[in-house]
Amino acid sequence: MSQSQSRTECKVRRPRAILLGAGHRPHVPEEANRLRPAVERFAEVVLADFSGVEDLSSLEADVAIVFGGDGSILRAARQMGDRQLPVIAVNLGKLGFLAAISPSELPNVLEHFCAGKLSIIEHLMFECAVLHAGELVHRQIGLNEAAIHAGPPFTILEVNLYVDGELVTTYSCDGLIVSTPVGSTAHCLSAGGPILRQDLQAFVVLPISPHTLTNRPVVDSADRIYEMLVAQPNPGTALVVDGRVVCTLRPGDRVRVQKARTKFKLVAAPGHSYYRTLREKLGWGGRREVN
């Protein structure tokens, strides 16, 4: 198909687009405004939200264009809730494991997306629920990880882990992370966890600074149900989902993590492979020089 034919088809289809990004960073709305005419060549912009407050779960649209870094993508996924749109992720941040498209690549990506030439990769998401005395008190959908953090006064926590209702172990630690493959290159990686290929259907369970050195990361199926119980939380012990505090935990609270029904949908960037991303983002591309 020629470039002119592709553009003609795009004018017929004209997908409805949402523009999202981190408005607290001055360069993000500025760059989004600069690129908006390029977006409007291929799509109808039905909403631009750089505050992160809009509920996108019922908005009629075909694609979300997210400007920023991976943090902006996590916020967009949270805003979309159970109704995830395909995401074109434009990297205006630093690392950007998910946000792989440069601003200069966006027009070409939009043209190919409109012509149906780009694949959409689905990634595992999770549903995190907090139950107290058997009653649901909080529910949050996430993409990266659910983590229990000790919080002030920062004494060691005793965290019981259950998988499908069976007690696995009691961790003595500063916290516990349950991560998706997408989240395995985020907080989980910084805490010493493994890197999981992003299309795997699995969770990583990783204690933060475990008191027992034999405690190691565990990788298990995403079809299982993971529950964390802190019998004696600190006053500041909190549940954090994708870097955002959901609630402080009370004695007896159970944190349940399981595979969500919905998937995160990322539009594949042309020429950007999984291992290329790891090589470039983690500095695997060169050799260390030894004096």
In this structure, are 55 and 78 located in the same domain?
yes
> Is the per-residue pLDDT at 2 higher than 70?
no
In this structure, are 10 and 66 located in the same domain?
yes
The radius of gyration computed from the CA coordinates of the chain, to the nearest angstrom, equals 21
| Cα(180)–Cα(205) distance, integer angstroms | 9
For 269, residues 6+ apart whose C-beta sits below 8 A from its C-beta are 89, 100, 101, 105, 109
Q: Which of 49, 70, 174, 253 is catalytic?
A: 70
The whole-number pLDDT of residue 235 equals: 96
- Establish if 30 belongs to a structural domain: yes
- Establish if 185 belongs to a structural domain: yes
In this structure, are 134 and 80 located in the same domain?
no
In this structure, are 88 and 181 located in the same domain?
no
* 36-67 exposure pattern, b = at least 16 Cβ within 10 A, e = fewer: eeebeebbeeeebbbeeeeebeebebbbbbbb
Residues in the chain, total? 291
- Establish if 289 belongs to a structural domain: no
- Establish if 146 belongs to a structural domain: yes
In this structure, are 135 and 214 located in the same domain?
yes
Q: Is 70 a catalytic residue?
A: yes
User: pTM for the complete prediction?
Assistant: 0.89
Q: What is the number of structural domains in the chain?
A: 2
Tell me the two tokens of residue 146: 């659910």
In this structure, are 67 and 162 located in the same domain?
no
CATH code: domain of residue 33: 3.40.50.10330
> Is the per-residue pLDDT at 4 higher than 60?
no
The whole-number pLDDT of residue 290 equals: 45
- Establish if 287 belongs to a structural domain: no
In this structure, are 139 and 228 located in the same domain?
yes
- Establish if 288 belongs to a structural domain: no
Confidence of residue 22 (pLDDT cuts 50, 70, 90): confident
For 219, counting Cβ atoms within 10 Å of its Cβ (0-12 exposed, 13-18 middle, 19+ buried), the class is middle
List, for residues 218-250, the tens digit of each pLDDT value.
999 999 999 999 999 999 999 999 999 999 999
| Cα(256)–Cα(92) distance, integer angstroms | 34
> Is the per-residue pLDDT at 282 higher than 70?
yes
Q: Torsion angle of alpha carbons 258, 259, 265, 268, nearest 10°? A: 100
Confidence of residue 10 (pLDDT cuts 50, 70, 90): low
- Say which DSSP state 184 is in: G
CATH code: domain of residue 244: 2.60.200.30
In this structure, are 222 and 247 located in the same domain?
yes
> Is the per-residue pLDDT at 271 higher than 50?
yes
More confident residue, 193 or 5: 193
- Establish if 286 belongs to a structural domain: no
In this structure, are 100 and 153 located in the same domain?
no
| Cα(257)–Cα(201) distance, integer angstroms | 14
For 225, residues 6+ apart whose C-beta sits below 8 A from its C-beta are 163, 164, 165, 256, 257, 258
230 membership: H or E segment, kind and range? strand 226-230
- Establish if 132 belongs to a structural domain: yes
Domain residues for 218?
125-261
> Is the per-residue pLDDT at 7 higher than 60?
no
In this structure, are 161 and 72 located in the same domain?
no
> Is the per-residue pLDDT at 9 higher than 70?
no
